[in-house]
Amino acid sequence: MSIKQPYVLFLGDAPDPLAAKVAQGIKDWRPGLSVGQITLPGCNADMDLQNISVKEAVSLGAKTLVIGVANRGGIISSKWMDVLKEAITAGLDIASGLHNLLRDEAELVNLSKKFNTNLVDVRVPTVDYPIANGIKRKGKRCLAVGTDCSIGKMYTAIALEKEMKNIGLKATFRATGQTGILITGSGVPLDAVIADFMAGSIEFLTPDNDQDHWDIIEGQGSLFHPSYSGVTMALIHGGQPDALILCHEPTRSHMRGLPGYSLPSLEELNDMAVKMARVVNNNVKVVGISVNTSGMTKDKAIEYLTSVEDKMKLPTVDPVLIGTSRIAEQLANF
Q: Alpha-carbon distance 250 to 293, whole Å? A: 7
CB of 43 to a copy of itself, least distance (A): 31
Element (H, E) at 66: strand 64-67
Cβ atoms of 101 and 121 closer than 8 Å:
yes
Cβ atoms of 75 and 12 closer than 8 Å:
no
In terms of CB distance, is 114 or 278 closer to a copy of itself? 278
CB of 276 to a copy of itself, least distance (A): 8
In terms of CB distance, is 182 or 269 closer to a copy of itself? 269
CB of 73 to a copy of itself, least distance (A): 16
Rounding to the nearest 10 degrees, give the CA dihedral for residues 293, 266, 161, 96: -80
CB of 215 to a copy of itself, least distance (A): 17
Q: Alpha-carbon distance 28 to 21, whole Å? A: 10
- CB-based contacts of 167, cutoff 8 Å, min separation 6: 325, 328, 329, 332
What is the amino acid identity at position 285?
Answer: K
- CB-based contacts of 319, cutoff 8 Å, min separation 6: 152, 155, 156, 159, 160, 290
Residues that bind a copy of itself (CB under 8 A): 131-134, 190-196, 198-200, 223-224, 226-234, 236-238, 255, 257-258, 260-261, 264, 272, 275-276, 279-280
CB of 264 to a copy of itself, least distance (A): 8
Element (H, E) at 217: strand 213-217
Q: How far is CA 222 from the centre of its chain?
A: 15
Cβ atoms of 309 and 289 closer than 8 Å:
yes
Residue 51, SS3 per DSSP: strand
In terms of CB distance, is 190 or 301 closer to a copy of itself? 190
In terms of CB distance, is 22 or 132 closer to a copy of itself? 132
CB of 288 to a copy of itself, least distance (A): 24
In terms of CB distance, is 24 or 232 closer to a copy of itself? 232
In terms of CB distance, is 42 or 226 closer to a copy of itself? 226
Q: What are phi and psi of 132, to 5 degrees?
A: -60, 140
CB of 193 to a copy of itself, least distance (A): 5
In terms of CB distance, is 168 or 260 closer to a copy of itself? 260
